[in-house]
Amino acid sequence: MCTVMMKRVCLRVYDATLDFETSSQLFFDEFIREFGGYTSNEAVEGGGKIRLLEKTKVEFEVPEGAVRDSIVFPSTAMYLHEGSIFLAKEGDYFININPAKCEANAYLRSSSHIFEKMRFIAKRFIIRLLEDKGIVSIHGSAVRNDKGALLFTGASGSGKTTSLLALLEKGCQMVADDVILVDDEVVLPFHIRSMIHNDTLKRFPSLSSGIAKSGTWVAEADGWWVNLGDIYPVQREPTIPGAIFHTHIWNSTRSSCMKTEPNKMLSNLVRNYSLEAGIIFSRTSEQLKRVFSAYSKIVENIPCYDLYIGRDLESLSRTIQGVEK
């Protein structure tokens, strides 16, 4: 009988832990590239778990009676059954997710391209485990300057990363991209990789150095996963938020920023939170109440703005930093 060699690493983000185990050297290496700043070889019990096993043939079946709910990710059917979620592509991969326990088991052929899915699952597990400990997340990006943390939130593709990069180019420190963590109104640094598309690379040529060092090309996304900490200075300590911006791309060369009401910003934050979690990680009413309360404190205590992002990067950085004067 052939024994499968498994590689194991523990991901620890503040008080949340996630155990990752796989027989795939490729997936293990990508996991380290993604979360390397938070990994250790120390085994931890009581957190989330992800187990990924390569197989010559993937013959698992969705349970009888499972309900097809929607299509998530490209060409992936999702099924629900007794609190579990199943993502399956015949002969290619099979993923069983238990959201309540933050556990997932994945089986795949060696040629399968499912790292995007596993990255998403790992990220949502960490967010869920942190929420259980009182740390909430905002879908967005954040930098730090001498006024504190500037938070950018909005729908996917609305210019959050562009705003982040425009200020990093001006010497600000990176706090987070994609996931902003907030603990009792203090922003906690969280550094994972960012998706950099070809159009972004053209606007920010300095990103090429990070791509050359540790970037991973993703053909489906037409872009690279890049660790921005390889290029720009990062913030290591918690920081107080100084302002929050709801981002929009508009058809203009210049950028513009207008103050908005806290209640409007709160509504945007809650909507973006629900959209980002999706049906796979939908929240209970008690969890939503905690997030709503945390968001309310944030928007009531810092200036809130609608940021309209134009094509000129100098105009963008001046507009963002100008609102603080």
Based on the domain organization, do 108 and 140 belong to the same domain? no
Query: For residue 275, what pLDDT band results from cuts at 50, 70 and 90?
Result: confident
Q: What percent of the chain has pLDDT over 70?
A: 94
| Of 100, 131, 162, the domain-final residue | 131
Q: Are residues 155 and 118 in the same domain?
A: no
| 70 pLDDT more than 90 | no
| pLDDT at residue 324, rounded to an integer | 59
Pair (113, 144) in one structural domain = no
Whether 197 is in a domain gets the answer no
Confidence of residue 72 (pLDDT cuts 50, 70, 90): low
Residues, the chain, total?
A: 325
Q: For the packed helices 25-35 and 115-131, what is the interaxial angle rounded to 10 degrees?
A: 50
User: Tokens 């938020």 — which residue?
Assistant: 241
Please say if the pLDDT value at position 30 is more than 70.
yes
In a domain, 229, yes or no: no
> Is residue 38 a part of any domain in this protein?
yes
CATH number at 251 reads 3.90.228.20
Range of the domain at 255: 136-191+234-322
Q: Which two structure tokens, joined as six digits, stand for 246?
A: 């709801």
Domain co-membership, 56 together with 173 = no
Give the mean model confidence (pLDDT) for residues 256-283.
87
The reply to whether 184 falls in a domain is: yes
The pLDDT value recorded for residue 1 is 47
Domain membership of residue 196 (yes or no) is no
- Note whether 261 and 174 are same-domain residues: yes
Distance of CA 312 to the CA centre of its chain: 27
Pair (169, 315) in one structural domain: yes
How many domains does the chain contain in total? 2
Last residue of a domain, one of 91, 110, 131: 131
> What is the band of 237 on the pLDDT scale with cuts at 50, 70, 90?
very high
Distance CA 124, CA 119 (A): 9
Considering the entire predicted model, what is its pTM?
0.91
Are residue 40 and residue 81 in the same domain, yes or no? yes
Q: In this structure, are 159 and 263 located in the same domain?
A: yes
pLDDT, one tens digit per residue, over 186-227 is 999 999 999 998 889 999 999 998 888 878 888 777 889 999
Please indicate, yes or no, whether residues 279 and 180 belong to a single structural domain of this protein.
Answer: yes
Whether residue 83 lies inside any domain: the answer is yes
Neighbour order of strands in the sheet with 77-81: 39-40, 7-13, 16-22, 48-54, 103-108, 93-98, 84-89, 77-81, 67-71
- Looking at 109, 131, 153, the residue that finishes a domain is 131
Q: Are 16 and 47 in contact (CB under 8 A)?
A: yes
pLDDT of residue 191: 93
Cβ-count burial of 183 within 10 angstroms (0-12 exposed, 13-18 middle, 19+ buried)? middle
Domain contains 241: yes
Same domain, 46 and 177: no
Please tell me what DSSP assigns to residue 239: B
Same domain, 99 and 152: no
Predicted confidence at residue 219, as pLDDT, reads 77
Report how far residue 170's alpha carbon sits from residue 317's, in angstroms, rounded to the nearest whole number: 8
Q: Is there a single domain that holds both residue 147 and residue 43? A: no
For residue 216, being part of any structural domain is answered with no
